[in-house]
Amino acid sequence: MDFNLENIKKEYSNCDCGQKHVLNIKDVVIESGITSQVGEILKKNGFKSKLLFVADKNTLGASIGILESLKDFSLTKKIYVDLREATISESKVIMELLKDNDGVIAVGTGSIHDICRYASAKLSKPLCLFATAPSMDGFASYCAPLTDGNFKITYPAKSPEVIIADTKILAKSPKHLKSAGFGDMVGKYVGLIDWKVSSLITGEYFCQKVWDLTKTATDYIMSLADRITLDDEESASSVFKGLLLTGIGMSFVKNSRPASGTEHILSHFWECKKLLEGKLSDFHGKKVGVATLLIMREYGELAKKERVKAKKEVVDWEDVYYNYGALKDEVIALNTPDTITDGVLLSKIEENWPKIREIILSMPSYEQIKLAMIKAGCALTTEEIGVSEELKEQGLKYHPFMRRRMSLRRLSNMIE
Ligand SMILES: [Zn+2]
Ligand SMILES: [Zn+2]
């Protein structure tokens, strides 16, 4: 897969959608055996000598040669044992350390990178991501999900100025992380449907070019399904580029529409509910993949309807709030004084149905996605991600209310 940052920037600089698509990312280097040159790449991109180095034992262990490559820098090292959860308190620890440094390098795409993205955005200091696994797509995003107590909140953050990935390391990364990256990618099909449906029904901002970018990247990764878990540099590199492209799409439109739909919200619902019980969730992409299958099955059923009769959405709000428990106040704030379905004209749903149907049918079917996920070694059931049957059903029914966002799932509440 070709990836040229300058070409992408140029191609999107004058878009018809009217929004200026800008990118914080200055340099992307994805090459085999590049670890020994990390120091040189940082210098070339203006990183000064005092550098904060953040990793955990796993990501540092995978990045052989990285410390040697940084020998010209004066390093402050923060090495975690195994950072599974990105918390606001850890972000503050990083902020304190970063105050005395000129910039930061985060070794690892997940939680480590999220706390660094938050801290570097707060202090306006340059950030480099050294990726060790193609496991999720949030790394090029403009915001970071951080846990505060038992809540997970999305905070303003930034995408890194420099992204470096050594395809030798990506290829050797654990299989379950590569499969998780694939699960995060198939979720884009739901996201793409939801975004287009919302633009038709609510007039929400939409960019066809960014939509196409995500669709192309996702189709490409789908075609690699049977190679995902191999120790193969080319496949690992392609998956990483696909994840990066969808992240760039999010940055371009300054919202998560191109890369996440109702499947991400469902996964988020499960995660929050488990967090309230003090339980950690499984890997992001692993959960998103399972949620994608559940949603695509529902969307496939909807696509069987040639015509629809629309009705006003009827919500038992007391029941909704009860099911959110401690998250109730957040949900009330998102749905009062009005909720996203209130202004939707029933005629609009009925008139646009043929188009909506066409959008669903233009994506791979539930069966095709499931088959690809089997090949890619993904989890397929809620059981495999530690979500009980009860929590699964609760999530399916109530998750749309935790966002003020139209999705086909939410719209289906308005279809007879
Ligand atoms: Zn555009
Ligand atoms: Zn994701």
In this structure, which residues have their CB less than 5 angstroms from ion ligand 1? Answer: 15, 17, 207, 209
Ligand 1 centroid – CA 193 distance (Å): 17
pLDDT of 151 above 80: no
Cα-to-centroid distance, 181 and ligand 2 (Å): 8
Q: Which ligand has an atom closest to residue 141 CA?
A: 2
**Which among 260, 360, 358, 355 is positioned nearest to 301, based on CA atoms?**
360
The ligand with the least distance to the CA atom of 213 is 1
Distance 87 CA to ligand 2 centre (A): 18
- Closest ligand by atom to 18 CA: 1
Q: Could you count the other beta carbons within 10 Å of the beta carbon of residue 103? A: 23
Determine the average pLDDT of the residues in 368-390: 98
Classified as helix, coil or strand, 285 is helix
For 272, half-sphere exposure in the C-beta direction (CA atoms, 13 angstrom radius) is 26
| Percent of the chain clearing pLDDT 70 (strictly above) | 100
- The arithmetic mean of pLDDT across residues 43-53, rounded, is 98
Cβ–Cβ < 8 Å for 230, 360: no
What spacing in Å lies between the alpha carbon of 355 and ligand 2's midpoint?
26
Question: Using one digit for the tens of pLDDT, what is the confidence trace for 116-129?
Answer: 999 999 999 999 99
Minimal CA–CA distance to 249: which of 409, 1, 11?
Answer: 11
Neighbouring C-beta atoms of residue 277, cutoff 10 Å: 8
What phi and psi, each to the nearest 5 degrees, are found at residue 166? -95, 115
Pair of tokens at residue 223: 């075609």
CA of 215 to the centre of ligand 1 (A): 14
Task: Tell me the CA–centroid distance for residue 200 and ligand 1, in Å.
Answer: 16
Give the pairing of strands 151-156 and 162-166. unpaired
What domains can be seen in the chain, in order of their start residue?
Answer: 5-172 (3.40.50.1970), 178-204+257-414 (1.20.1090)
Distance, in Å, from the CA atom of 369 to the CA atom of 367, rounded to the nearest integer, reads 5
Residue 138 has pLDDT above 90, yes or no: no
| 190 CA from centroid of ligand 2 (Å) | 12
* C-alpha of residue 285 to centroid of ligand 2, in Å: 6
Position 164, amino acid: I
pTM of the model: 0.94
Q: Which of 231-235, 278-282, 284-288 shows the lowest per-residue confidence on average (mean pLDDT)?
A: 278-282
Q: Is the model's pLDDT at 174 over the cut of 90?
A: yes
